[in-house]
Amino acid sequence: MLSSVTSLAIASALDGLAGRQRAVASNIANVNTPGYTARRVAFEDAIVRSVATGDGRATATESRSLEPTRLDGNNVNLDTETISSIDTVLRFQFAARAADGPFTALRTAMRTS
């Protein structure tokens, strides 16, 4: 159960989402830092490829945003970061519930036996 492709993919997604949330927090913290470029974390395509090969493990990659910059060289858009933060939190909650599903079923089965 713990090493199934699905479990590994969910664990990879949780790791990727946590990394994305750290990047968003850093972007928001540096919204007024001259020359700062926003960080972006991607992992979804890597998970899809990994699951297709029967593995499930994937590593998130971080890159700098290529979006246009302001006059001070900063390209953090607070609206974009806020939406990304909300989206990431919701996805994390969904993945955490998916990860907990088998354990909830096991706990229920143990209580009723």
Amino acid (1-letter code) at residue 91:
R
Cα 20 from Cα 105, distance rounded (Å): 30
Q: Which two tokens stand for residue 47?
A: 């998970």
* Centroid of chain to Cα 9: 12
Per-residue pLDDT of the chain (113 residues; tens, 9 = 90+): 456 898 899 999 999 999 999 999 999 999 999 999 999 999 999 999 999 999 999 999 999 999 999 999 999 999 999 999 999 999 999 999 988 876 666 667 777 76
What is the pTM assigned to this prediction?
A: 0.84
> Which residues are paired to 64 by β-bridges?
39
> Which residues are paired to 62 by β-bridges?
41
Task: For residue 26, give the H/E element and its range.
Answer: helix 5-29
Amino acid (1-letter code) at residue 81:
E
